[in-house]
């Protein structure tokens, strides 16, 4: 059975896979301006990082209203970071998620999510974690399209490929 935590592991793998691939491309590609959803690949990857930062704060008990300013504080640093620096930032952030997982006895625990842009909603920590994964998948898709627009192939970060990264089961 796939758990939300396993899906988060996929999210970490997919981000690292994309960043590793970006390091193989000409150096200017990462920050090159493009007419797309984001003005550059670096800003798209920084956005994933910023939103991941927001959600760990919420998972750890902050309200969305409290978490928005905290995540915005990392925006500039993430946008100006090199690929290697952003990779290190993602690594540190994944350690915060892992610490949360090790301390949270019930990932299905329900909480009230008070979104200032919509309304209050009862949701589980697992659902929030799936939002992190889904958000990252969506924007890595944007990055793939941006890469093609810039004349480069992308790299596969599909969940099915993740299965084979540490899968020792055989038929």
Alpha helices in the chain (DSSP H): 4-24, 41-59, 64-80, 83-103, 125-149, 159-163
* Tens digits of residue pLDDT in 139-167: 999 999 999 999 999 999 999 999 988 66
Alpha carbon distance 128, 51 (integer Å):
12
Residue 59 burial class via C-beta count within 10 angstroms: exposed 0-12, middle 13-18, buried 19 and up: buried
Instruction: Provide the pLDDT for residue 168.
Output: 57
pLDDT confidence of residue 8: 98
Question: Average pLDDT, whole number, for the chain?
Answer: 95
**Model pLDDT, residue 171:** 60
What Cα–Cα distance (Å) separates residue 126 from each residue in 19, 43, 131, 133? 26, 27, 9, 11
Q: At what angle do helices 125-149 and 41-59 cross, to 10 degrees?
A: 180
Q: Inform me whether the pLDDT recorded for 72 exceeds 90.
A: no
The proportion of the chain whose per-residue pLDDT surpasses 70, expressed as a percent, equals 96
- Which residue has 């946008």 as its token pair? 79
| Residue for token pair 């998972």 | 59
């Amino acid at each position: 059975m796939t758990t939300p935590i396993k899906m988060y592991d996929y999210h970490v793998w997919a981000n690292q896979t994309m960043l590793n691939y970006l390091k193989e491309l000409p150096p200017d590609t990462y920050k090159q301006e493009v007419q797309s959803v984001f003005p550059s690949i670096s800003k798209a990857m920084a956005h994933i990082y910023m939103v991941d930062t927001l959600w760990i704060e919420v998972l750890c008990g902050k309200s969305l209203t409290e978490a928005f300013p905290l995540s915005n504080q990392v925006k500039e640093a993430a946008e100006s970071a090199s690929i290697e620096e952003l990779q290190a930032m993602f690594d540190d952030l994944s350690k915060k998620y892992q610490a949360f997982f090790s301390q949270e006895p019930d990932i299905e625990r329900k909480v009230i999510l008070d979104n200032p842009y919509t309304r209050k909603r009862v949701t589980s920590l697992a659902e929030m974690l799936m939002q992190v994964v889904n958000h990252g998948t969506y924007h890595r898709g944007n990055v793939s399209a941006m890469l093609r627009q810039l004349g480069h192939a992308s790299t596969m970060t599909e969940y099915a490929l993740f299965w084979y990264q540490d899968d020792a089961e055989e038929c």
